[in-house]
Amino acid sequence: MSKDMKIPETEPSNLPWLGRKLLWLDSIKNVDRIVYALFIVCAGLLAADFMYHKHSYLDIEDIPGFYAAYGFFMCAALVVCARALQVLLKRDEDYYAPKDVASEAYPEDQMNRETIND
């Protein structure tokens, strides 16, 4: 489904109960709130490093915030490298063969394509 296609309006009453309860995730403002909450949790975890005695095997582990920095920078590096790799390695879906699993549709008789409007 292309991204610029008009997304059909969905009656909330058609959604399952749990789906209705989660609809607040649709608003950009609430997504921003989740990101702010993530900032706060991260700050809290960083602060926690000063509040307990760390049982470590390596000297490097004793640096406050070592795990936080390692996670952050390694993931950033990973994603940047992967993005560069994507430029190099990306090919069309039918690159290997005109009928490849990547490009052919999943057989209709093996699925049950029901929607909430059915």
Partner 1 sequence: MTDLFPPFLLFVAGALVLPLIPNGHPRSLAAVIVPVISAYFIWMMPEGMHGQFLFMGQELTLLRVDKLSTVFGLVFCLAAFLALIYAWHVRDTIQQTTSLLYAGAAIGAVFAGDLISLFIFWEGTAIASVFLIWARRTEGAYSTGLRYLIVQVGSGVILLAGILLQYVDSGSMAFDAMTLGSPATWAIFLAFGVKCAFPLLHNWMPDAYPAATVTGTVILSAFTTKLAVYALARGFAGTEILIYIGAIMAIFPVFYAVIENDLRRVLTYSLNQQLGFMVVGIGVGTELALNGTVAHAFASILYQALLFMSIGAVLFRTGTAKASELGGLYKTMPLTMIFCVIGAASISSFPLFSGFVSKSLILSASVHEGHYIVWGILLFASAGAFIHSGIKVPFFAFFAQDSGLRPKEAPWNMLLAMGLTAFLCIAIGVYSDPLYALLPYEVVYVSYTTTHVVTQLQLLFFSALAFAMLMRTGIYPPALKSVNLDFDWSYRKLGPALIGAVRYVVRGIWGGLIGTGLRGVNWGFAALQRAHGADGLLARAWPTGQMVLWIAVLLGATLLLNYM
Distance CA 26, CA 12 (A): 12
The residues in 63-92 that bind partner 1, with binding defined as CB under 8 A, are: 65, 67-76, 78-83, 85-86, 88-92
* Binding flag, residue 13, partner 1 (CB under 8 A): no
As measured in angstroms, the least distance from the Cβ of 52 to partner 1 is 5
Give the angle 94-95-99 at the CA atoms, nearest 5°: 35
Measured CA to CA, the distance from residue 54 to residue 46 in angstroms comes to: 13
* Rounded-to-integer distance, Cα 89 and Cα 82, Å: 10
- Select the residue interacting with partner 1 from 27, 30, 33, 100 (CB under 8 A): 100
Q: Token pair for residue 23?
A: 């609809």
Residue 4 within binding range of partner 1, rule CB under 8 A: no
Q: Which is nearer to partner 1, 29 or 118 (CB)?
A: 118
Rounded Cα gap, residues 41 and 48, in angstroms: 10
Contacts with partner 1 in 25-64 (CB under 8 A)? 25-26, 35, 38-39, 41-42, 45-46, 48-49, 52, 54-58, 61
